[in-house]
Structure 1
Amino acid sequence: MKTKVYANLEWQHIGTVKEAGNLYADGEWCFNTKDRAARTCNSIGRGRSGNYYIIKINKDDNRYPYTGDNAVVGQLLVRVGEQGMPVPLDEVGRLHVEAGWDLWLRINDDFGLSDNDGELSLRIVTPKMAAYDPARTNATNSYGDPIGTQYTRDAAGNYVKIKP
């Protein structure tokens, strides 16, 4: 099974799932390099820069591969089989997959993929792996913090984690 999915490619055949588990996609990709700071996001279409804003997709906008509930530009889409119905990861960045599923993945973007770049690293965490190392099941951002961690910028422009 391939371990990366690229922002500048159409549907990518990743392979067949060997053992059931949760699929995670780590890292960030960009869906418009002309406005990189505002258009770089993670697998669920959320960015970490101060000027990133979520671009929601209307349910009747058929230009996008996925327009269902909570559809946003930049999110990772998964389908089972070449003609399967696309679905996004859940709000914490995971999707349960079954053994034998033939996976196809891509970014949810309608404006052409030539101005995209970056990739997400894929991993499937099986129940056995989760029992052995529970930390592997926790989706993290590029700083290694849990998804949803909030940051502010210091005077030098660096991101500083906001303490709860």
Structure 2
Amino acid sequence: MASKWILLLPVVVLLTVSQVEGQTAPAPAPVVNTVNTTFTESDFVFTKCFPFGSTFANESGMLVAGIGEPYFNNGTACGSVINVQCVTDADHPWDNSTCIAGSVNVTIVDKCEDKPPCLNLHLNAFQIIATRNISGFIVSDFFEVSPGTGIDWTPPAQG
């Protein structure tokens, strides 16, 4: 009796996803960082990002902040814009009256010298996302909106 062999070959189906003209793939979700945050009433005139001093940030009403290592990254964060949202009161996490709904975009103009990682918002920015609590500290989340260009960053022209 003769045997017949049947050879079965796997069939590979390739699926392709075509891009519709004019559409782009969605951007990846931003990396969210959690950091201890405080406020200052400093004018951010002499800063790490403005080595020779600048009154631009204060005069223009720009919402500014200082950020600590590792985010400051030896100055590469200068000029970056981050979006900050209050999460909770740092000393009283059960108190949900400290945070104000919403978020604020701030420009990094200095290095935060507090215990890293830290974020030091100008009071004008802080009051958009939180009330002035007794300790002055909140926990906040932030993500980068636009990257910095380094210590030699030049503020945008007033217009």
In the superposition, the TM-score normalised over structure 1's length comes to 0.29
Compare CA radii of gyration and give the structure with the larger one: 2
